[in-house]
Every structure is written in C-alpha cells, then in structure tokens.
Amino acid sequence: MDIMTAFKTMDYGPAPESAAEAQAWLERHDYTFGHFINGAFTTPNDLFETRNPATGEVLAQVSTAGEDEVNAAVTAARQAQPDWESLGGPKRARFLYALARLVQKNSRLLAVLETLDNGKPIRESRDIDIPLVARHFYHHAGWAQLLEAEFPHHQAVGVAGQVIPWNFPLLMLAWKIAPALAAGNTVVLKPAEYTPLTALLFAELCVQAGLPKGVVNIVTGMGATGAEISGHPDVNKVAFTGSTEVGRIIRRQTAGQGKKLTLELGGKSPFIVFDDADLDGAVEGLVDAIWFNQGQVCCAGSRLLVQESVADKLLAKIRARMGKLRVGAPLDKSIDIGAIVDPVQRNQIADRVAAGVAEGAEIFQPDIAMPEGGCFYPPTLLYNTEPAMTVAQEEIFGPVLVSMTFRTPEEAVQIANNSRYGLAASVWSENVNLALDVAPRLKAGIVWVNGTNMFDAAAGFGGYRESGYGREGGREGMFEYLKPRYASALKPVKLVLNNEAHMQQKLTTSVDQTRKLYIGGKQARPDGGYDRPVFGPKGALIGQVGEGNRKDIRNAVEAAANAGAWAKTTAHNRAQVLYYIAENLSLRADEFAQTLNTMSGGSDGDDEVRAGIDRLFHWAAWADKYDGAVHSVPIRGVALAMHEPMGVIGIAAPDEAPLLGFLSLVAPAIAFGNRVVALPSAHQPLAALDMYQVFETSDLPGGVVNIVTGNRDALTRTLTEHGNVDAMWYFGSSEGSAMVEAASTGNLKRTWVNDGFARDWFDATQGAGCEFRRAATQVKNIWVPYGE
Ligand code: NDP
C-alpha cells in the first residue's frame, strides 16, 4: 500500500510484536517444564499441554503435580519459613526490590509470553499487567522494610498456599506472592492450567534474585492440584482467586483447619451512567470496563445501568464505538480485543449469550472483521434486559455487555445492589454531589467515579458479599498475611461443665426470675414458649433463660436488618450511646458482679465488671477515630479508603469471661455501625442477658443489639446459615469453629472464629486489639480522578 492510499483509508497496518525471544526461552526449556520446588526445577512428569489461544498451537508441555509434588513443595516452604522470617523485614525488602527490578528488566519477554499463553492484547500485557506486577513488588518491598514499625505485635502466618486464575496470570501471582514474602511467609503457588508459563519464568527470576531455596515454590496442574494445596494440613494460609463456585468448595474444604483464608471471587459489577454524565467519556470507560482483557475480568463493568432519558443516545454511541473495535492477533499492537483463553470458555460465553437471548434480551454484535481460526468472540451488547434475567445476574466472563435502564438515583442503587456479588462499581456523572452520594451506597469493595478498572498496589482490592473476602494490596492486604504474635501462645478453651448435662437433673428449686430474649429493643418470650434452666457450679438452679429456636433467630435477624439507621447515625452519636451504656452498667456494677460470682462460684466478678466498663469506654473512644485513608495511587485524583460496617453480625460469645467477652465483641461491632444478634455464653448467660436492661435505659435503638439464648450450637448454625447475616463471630469449641466455617458458605459470610483457643479477654491486645476493628468493618476504596 502506498502512503496516499494509507492516508485516505486511515486503516491500521499490522504492527506485530516479535515472539522470537519468548520462543527462544521455550526452546531453551525444550518446550517442557517440571515444577519449581526448593529452588530448582523437577524432572518433568505427567505432562499436559498449554496452548496459544489465538492460534491453537501448543506452546509447551507442563507437569501435573499430585500429592507427592505438593507435599515436597509444602515441605520445602515449611523448612525455609523460619529463616526467611527471621531475616527481618529490611533484608527481605532487598529481595522484593530485586524481583521488581528483574520484572522490569524482563518486562518485554514477560509481556509477550503472557500474551502468547493467555491471548490478551500485547498492549495490555505490556502497558498494564507487567508494570503493575513490578509496582506490586516495589510497593511490598516497602512494606517489608516498614513491617516491624507498622505492624507491631504481628508475625508471619507461615506457609501460604496460593491458587490463581488465568485472566491475569502474572499479576495475580504478584498480588499473592509479594505481600506473602514481605510479611515473612513462604509460598506454594499454582498457576491456572491454561496459563502456567509466566509463573515458570518468574521462578527463574527468583533464582536470579538469589531468593533462598524453598521461599517460593511453583507447582503446575489442574484443579485437583489446587485442592491438594488448599487442603494441605501444613499450609497455614490459603489465598484464592477464581470462581465463586470453587471459592465455596475451598471454604468448605478448609473449615476447621485453622487456616487464614482470602477469597477473591466473581462479580457482576454495575457501570452506572447518569443523564448528566460525559457520554463520550462513559463510552470510552465502557471499552475499558468490558472489552479490556476480552471481558475476562472479575471486576468487569458487565452490567450497564443507564438513566432512561439518555439510554437511546448512549446505546447509539456504544454501537458506533463497537463497530470500531479491532479483534485480532493479540501480538498485534493495534488490536483492542484478543483471544478468549480457551475454547471451553468461548463456548461457555456463547451458551450464556444464547440463554440471554432465549430469555428475551436483544443482541447487537457489530459487523467487524473477525480473525479466521483461533479462539475469538465478538464484542456483544445485550439490551432490553431485566435485572432478574440470568445474564444480568451471573458472570458471563467474556466481552458481553448487558444493558438496562433506571429512572432515579434510588433505582440505580437498588438495581446495582440487586446482585449476590459486590466486587466493583463504576459511577458516571459530572455532578460530584450525586456521584459521591451514590458511591457509599453501593455494595462493592471498589467504586470508580468517572473511571473504571483502576488498580494500584497501594489500594486494597477485594469484594463484598459473594465476591469474597480479604483485600489484596495496601495496608489492609498486608494484614491478610500476618497474625497477632499472641496467637501462637494461646491454649485450648477449657471444657466447661455442659449445661445440657445438668438439664437431665430434676428441677428441685424454683427461681423467681426468668430472663427473656431481647429482640428489636423488646424483651420477648421465646417462640416455643419453653425456658431452660441455668445451674451454678455446684449444680444449684440459679436462673432460667428462654429456649430460643430458629424462629427467634429469624426474628432477631429481621430486627437487626431493620435497624440499618444505626449505620447512618454519626459516629459521635454511637460513641455517646456506648458511654451511656458504660455509665449505666457502672451504676449497677455490684449487682452484675454478684451475678457473675453466682454463676462462677468465684469472687472476682467485680474485676470483670470493671474491665467490661473499661471496654465500653474503649470502644466509645474508638467509634469516631477509626478513620479511613487517602491512598497514594498514581492518578490525578484520590483513592479514598472508607471503613464501612459489615452489616448484621452474629456473635457467639465465649464461655470464659461471660460478661467481658460478650461486651468485648458486641461493643466494637456496634461502635462501627453494625447490628448484632448475640448468643451469650452457653453455661453462664445471665450477666450478658441482664445487659438488656442496661441497653433499654441507654438510648440504644431497638434492633441494634439482639440477644437470644437456647441451644447454642443449634442457634449458632441457624445464625451462620442465615442469608441476611453478613458476618459470624464465634468463640467456643474447635468443633463449633469448624461448623461455623462450613456453614458460612451459603452467602460466603465473613467468619471470625477462635479455633477452640481461649484468649485472655482482660488483656488489651487480645481483648480489644486492632483485629476487632478490622473484623467489624470492611474497606471500600472509592477512586475519584479529577481535572477537566
Ligand atoms: P476456577 O475458579 O475453576 O479456577 C481458578 C483456579 O483454581 C485455577 O488455578 C484452578 O485450576 C483452581 N481450582 C479449580 N478447582 C479447584 C479446587 N477444587 N480447589 C483448589 N483449586 C481449584 O475458574 P475457571 O478457570 O475454571 O473458570 C471458570 C469460571 O470462573 C469462569 O468462566 C469465570 O466465570 C470464573 N472466573 C472468575 C475469575 C475471577 O477473577 N473472578 C477468574 C477466573 C475465572 P485449573 O485452572 O487447573 O482449573
């Protein structure tokens, strides 16, 4: 083509990136790879192929790790961990810094290899994925450097087992490995079967960086290999990114194993366009939201919600823009949309789109050139859809935008939140008041205002609801790889005489007072109409409490859910109520001490009441001081990290310190705007129950704290399985902890359990440390770029 013709047509010419270096690297390895265990590659065995999805050609053969290989990798990680941790943060920082430098030095090779293996456009792997990988290692080199000062009283968790998906192979590796190493953990990581190559190249970089043997281990394989890692008894922390379905399996599998768990799962993120938005800007935003990485992005803006008055105009602009998207060879630098990772995924996308059309959605696919051969899917718009349709509810995980309309901001928020997911959201409006009013009301871990898919190592990433829990990146992400130092020294809870056993005894004494349940700010008779006796240490009947059942739990959860105004009241008001509760408790201190002494047979009840009053003062003080942050992210704008309440928290209070334990958990929960359904100590419930009289006289709105007594294990299960409970805190036996973790999978609620260990509730760190603040809140990052 001559220059004049090119000028006239303004067509893009081909701009292919060379694959020669990457091919040479594969050839050096004879196109065959073992696992990277204890600093060296193993002999390849049990091979499977990894292919270039753009052409279908086999790139290499990779080994499948079974039980033996995973054992070897975990053993290597275990042996390496103590020395790695005791190196100290500043020395570990040097290694992380070296890895960052090596990623930068090899960035072109890594980008090409990623594109070959995954099918994503080279523009994205070169300009987004790999720079973010380097940024992640730099950022976490910094955390390693500052660890002792910034995370006092914390230590590494131990060996981290990490399982990652195929959509951002090296980036997900960096998100997992960098914080783990910074905190002093060692790792065993499995890349996805479709995209193992950059992880194997990264293993070589670890050797070049002089990383001690066993600190990073990479094993390849399928889902079964991932399951070997996540279920391994010697793995202390599991970090998983992938589908919600597998996230649930892992939650169930690890229940009761005492592992720390972070899950970064699916999403169906809303992209909300108000009528005053810059529509052209919004269209470009959509290109990044849903056609970035072929839409194979967990936080893809896959649900377009557009205000009805501008819907036709915006959809016309979107259709026009779709007609300009270029689908083709991913190594071509002028390509917008590359290949889908595998035919299995492409067929799944096609099936989900067909199902949407069958449900009544209308479809638009632009008339653009599609490559012949390879694994491609055209950019697609499904419109005239309804919020309840499957395509509006479930991940399609492909380049498919689902569009619907709304009339008012309230309706936009309602439709946006009508999802089991809660990963990200994007809000488009030129009215800053509107955008910043809507952002906090969206149930999502990340909200972008007039932007989308902005990521940075300094800002935590992670979801609400069934999009998983835990954050990756930033200070909050570091906590996921640390544990409090005191945790290693805790002793198992002492088995107390079971109240149930006493119940077989004949009731010989009568008591004059029966404590009721406390639901919605009112004392309530249990639904079943039965009471249960409470016995003193020598078997004497000392009181009766309500025999609450499933119905009572449901009523309590409903009352808590209806008390949502508590989250919106000012922190100052919440502090005042807590001060008032403390004051009223202190007026009745002697009476509470007496009840504690009667229940325990001891004489130190007054110490516990005093400590309980202090604890209430402590959390009253904190109510208006747990500030968020403005992250230093590389945009012209701000990323605001806000601490939001979890919502409704179920609390099963401990047997040890029955009043102090109860207050130590309930007070931080309500200080930060949560509502609570609390189950007091099973065998010493009376003092905690008496708190309702204090609550009633302290201006605590009805429904903020609800107390139910009865068969604690059964009530705990009902509470944990309840779909409207957002988090469950359990302090009891190891069996109970396992049950809570297993039962939490329904709505993937956050759990905080004691694994059967007793803490010292009188101790300031164990009974009121920063983990209480973190358990009571979740971080929402709101990105607000600015400038004309
Ligand atoms: P999966 O969740 O199945 O895979 C993610 C990772 O987990 C992979 O390394 C996988 O191995 C591994 N794995 C699979 N089963 C288990 C198990 N039981 N225990 C431990 N690890 C396991 O995602 P898929 O790749 O199969 O994709 C399926 C769907 O999931 C997609 O269509 C998409 O909807 C969603 N998805 C969401 C992602 C997100 O970031 N939100 C990312 C990827 C997918 P292997 O690769 O060998 O199967």
Measured N-to-C along each axis, helices 660-671 and 571-587 cross at an angle, to the nearest 10 degrees, of 160
> What's the 243 CA to ligand 1 centre distance in angstroms?
5
Give the distance (Å) from ligand 1 centre to CA of residue 79: 29
Which of 298, 394, 476, 721 is catalytic? The answer is: 298
Q: Whose CA is nearest to atom 27 of ligand 1?
A: 243
Check pLDDT > 70 for residue 508: no
Mean pLDDT of the chain: 96
Establish whether 386 is a catalytic residue. no
> CA-to-CA distance for 253 and 244, rounded, in angstroms?
14
**Band of residue 11 on the pLDDT scale cut at 50, 70, 90:** confident
Within 563-604, residue ranges assigned H as helices are: 565-568, 571-587, 589-600
Annotation says 299 is catalytic: no
CA distance 190 to 77: 14
- At 41-67, the pLDDT tens digits run 999 999 999 999 999 999 999 999 999
Nearest CA to ligand 1 atom 36: 243
Q: Ligand 1 — pocket residues by CB below 6 A?
A: 163-167, 190, 192-193, 222-223, 226-227, 230, 241-243, 246, 249-250, 265-266, 298, 345, 348, 395, 397
Q: Is the pLDDT of residue 12 over 90?
A: no
Compute CA distances 736 → 338, 668, 697, 755, 781, whole Å: 49, 22, 34, 8, 34
Structure confidence by residue, pLDDT tens digits, 321-352? 999 999 999 999 999 999 999 999 999 999 99
- What ranges in 64-168 are assigned the alpha helix state H? 67-86, 89-105, 107-118, 122-124, 130-150
Q: Which of 69, 264, 466, 476 is catalytic?
A: 264
**What are 210-266's pLDDT values in tens digits?**
999 999 999 999 999 999 999 999 999 999 999 999 999 999 999 999 999 999 999
Q: Is it the case that residue 680 has pLDDT exceeding 50?
A: yes
State which ligand 1 atom lies nearest to the alpha carbon of 396. 34
So what's the pLDDT on residue 51?
98
For ligand 1, atom 25, the nearest C-alpha belongs to: 165
Give me ligand 1 centre to Cα 468, in Å.
14
Say how far apart CA 422 and CA 727 lie, in whole Å. 15
> Mean pLDDT throughout 501-530?
77
Per-residue pLDDT tens over the stretch 457-478: 999 999 999 999 999 999 999 9
Residues 6+ apart with CB under 8 A from 91: none
Mean pLDDT of 163-169: 98
Q: What is the mean pLDDT of residues 730-752?
A: 97
- DSSP string of 543-562? EEEE-B-HHHHHHHHHHHHH
Question: In this predicted model, what pLDDT tens digit does every residue of 626-665 receive, in sequence order?
Answer: 999 999 899 999 999 999 999 999 999 999 999 999 999 9
Structure pTM? 0.96
